[in-house]
Amino acid sequence: MVESQDAKQPDASELERYAALLDEARRIKGTSLWQDAWRRLKRNRLAMISLWCLVAVAMLAAFAPLLPLQSPLDKDLKDRKNLAPGFRGQRYWVKLGERSDLRFASDSLTAELAKFDDEVAELKTKVRAASGTDREQLLGELDGKIHNSDPLEKLWHNPGSIVRQLLRLRIMLFGDWCLPSLFGTDDLGRDVLSRVFWGARVSLIVGIVATLVSLLIGVTYGAVSGYLGGWIDSVMMRIVDILYSIPFIFIVIFIITILSAEETKAKMDALGINQLTVFYVLIGAIYWLTMARVVRGQVISLKTELFIDAAHVVGASRARIVFQHLIPNVMSVVIVYLTLTIPAVMRFEAFLSFLGVGVQAPDVSWGLLVDEGVKAVTPIKIYWWLIAFSGGALAATLFSLNFLGDGLRDALDPRMKNR
């Protein structure tokens, strides 16, 4: 009774007290699910180590062109074939551009690059001065020079514009100096250390992009199916069942083959899509099925919860409920599942490399490196460094992802809250 009276007629002091309480409550700020999870994750040492490892790998991969590495593509067949890992001896220490077949000015990339820049500048001034047919001639020469004589291209085949800038920066920072072949060299005399770093770029991007694609399709599909329910749900899930039983390798091989046909390739090039992009999307489009099932299951159990009813009452549209209320709440499951999908995708990429339909040379990926490495493991001679480092990098990344996934699952599990 008393309380209800209080509620009806709060006097000024009461109001003040409430305001103070509210203020305090505001200041405390309940920990959200995410903060809570983060706090618990931080306590899990293994998961945190994994997380930092992954961040480090991602950073190193992203900035690989900036590191003082040898070129991952430059082949020195004469004296540097199949070197075992090491750093002692002249053959291990390489200066950029010193390979004699390159015929660089004073056997150095920096010198050659300076010469090239000078020549280009000189030609440019000449072009400005000239006129008429002379000018045409000189313009052609300049163009030819830029396209066919860039020393960067001779070491790093066709780098993109961002990579090119990073490489220029790297040359400014380190000059011709680079790390010795600490991981040895492969049978074409390429530095394995730099190949592992550059391979990380492709592998990680394949893993992440493909997983994001699967996330996008899978979460949307699963959430819609689970939320709408009824016959729509059963039809949508039957479709997933059908897709599940399709032998995807078979299909992927054909699609990749069709896409690499010359005509299609030209069309895609015109649109600025390269084969690697298609590759990511394709893999992502395969791995969404399980994601859709998982999300649907979660949504079905969530949609009877009070907060969804509340949203209904407020008059939120269906789309708003699905995307604003349901999906954020299934994110915990999704994130855990993500850490399982990335390894699967990376393994799939390795498998495609094994079949010869994966990443195309001269691009490198860990899958390709592992495949090359396995071929160098024979009872007669084991070039262990070809498999050990690429395989190790792949395994370590997958390990980290797994442990991080476990950690996240524990951290996001509400039942674990007070442990």
Partner 1 sequence: MHPTLRNAFPYVALVVLMSALVWAVSFGTLPPADFSFHNGDEIKTVDPSKATGQPEHRVMTSLFEGLYREWPLGYELDEEGNVLNAPEPDENGNYPLDAAPGVAESVDISEDGRVYTFHIREAAKWSDGSKFTADDFVWSWRRTLHPETASQYAYQLWYLKGAKKYTTSTVTLGGLIEVELSDRLRVGQLFPRGTIRRGKLLGIARPPEPQHAPDASDEDKAEAESEWQERSVYLVEENSKVVAFSKGESTSGWSNFKVDWLAGSARDLPSEVVNCLHVLPDFEATVGVKAPDDKTLVVTLQNRTPFFLHLTTFYPLFPMNRKCIETHGTPAWTKPENIVSNGTYNLEFRRFRDRLRLVKNPLHWSHKQVKLETVDVFGFKSETTALNMYLTGQLDWITDAPSTVIPQLMARKERDYVPTPLLIIYFYRINVTRAPCDDIHVRRALNMAIDKQLICDKVTQAGQQPARSLVPPGLPGYRSPLCEPFDPVAAREELKKSKYANLPGGIPKVEILYNTNENHRAIAEVIQQQWKNNLGIDAELKNSEWTTYLSSIHSQEYSIARAGWVPDYPDANTFIDMWVTGGENNETGWGNPDYDAFVKKAAEEPGLDRRLRWMEQAEEILMAELPIIPIYYYVSKGMVSPRVKGFFPNVQDQHPLYWMRIED
Partner 2 sequence: MGESLQFLFRRAGWYLATMWVVYTVSFFLMHAVPGGPFDAERNLPPEVRKNVEAQFNLNDPLPVQYFDHLTRALRGDFGASIKIPDFTVNEIIGQGFPISASLGLFAMVFAVCLGTTAGVVSAIRRESFVDFSFMVAATLGIAVPNFVLASLAIILFVFQIQLLPAAGWGSLKQIILPAICLGAPYAGYISRLTRTGMLEVLGRDYIRTAFAKGLSERRVVVRHALRGALVPVVSYLGPAVAGVMTGSLVVEKIFALPGMGSHFIEAAFQRDYPLALGVVVVYTALVLLMNTMVDFSYAILDPRVKLGEL
CA distance 252 to 267: 20
**114 versus 355: smaller Cβ distance to partner 2:** 355
Q: Which stretch binds partner 2 (CB under 8 A): 131-139, 189-197, 249-257, 311-319?
A: 249-257
Residue numbers of the site for partner 1 (CB under 8 A)?
A: 73-75, 77-78, 81, 101-103, 137, 139-141, 143-149, 153-154, 157-158, 187-188, 253, 257, 260-263, 356-357, 360-362, 372, 375-376, 378-381
CA distance 259 to 256: 5
Q: How far is the CB of 122 from partner 2 (least distance, A)?
A: 48
Interface pattern 366-405 for partner 2 (x via CB under 8 A) = -x--xx--x--x-x--x----x---x--xx--xx--xx--
CA distance 128 to 170: 31
Residue 45: which H helix or E strand, with range? helix 45-62
Alpha-carbon distances of 52 from 400, 401, 404, rounded to whole Å: 9, 11, 10
Q: How far is the CB of 327 from partner 1 (least distance, A)?
A: 37
Name residue, tokens 């708003």. 320
Amino acid in the structure at residue 339: T
Asked whether 214 and 287 are in contact (CB, 8 A), the reply is: yes
Q: How far is the CB of 57 from partner 1 (least distance, A)?
A: 26
Name residue, tokens 């010869």. 356
Closest among 203, 209, 256 to 365, alpha carbons compared = 203
With CB cut-offs between 5 and 8 Å by kind, which of partner 1, partner 2, none does residue 100 bind? none
Give the DSSP letter string of 176-230: TB----TT-B-TTS-BHHHHHHHHHHHHHHHHHHHHHHHHHHHHHHHHHHHHH-H
Name residue, tokens 């592998």. 203
**Residue 95: φ, ψ to 5°:** -105, 140
**29 versus 147: smaller Cβ distance to partner 1:** 147
Interface pattern 326-365 for partner 2 (x via CB under 8 A) = -----------------x---x--xx--xx----------
With CB cut-offs between 5 and 8 Å by kind, which of partner 1, partner 2, none does residue 362 bind? partner 1
> Binding of partner 2 at residue 238 (CB under 8 A)?
yes
Exactly one of 31, 257, 277, 317 binds partner 2 (CB under 8 A); that residue is 257
With CB cut-offs between 5 and 8 Å by kind, which of partner 1, partner 2, none does residue 251 bind? partner 2
Binding site for partner 2 (CB under 8 A): 238, 241-242, 244-247, 249-251, 253-255, 257-258, 261, 290, 343, 347, 350-351, 354-355, 367, 370-371, 374, 377, 379, 382, 387, 391, 394-395, 398-399, 402-403
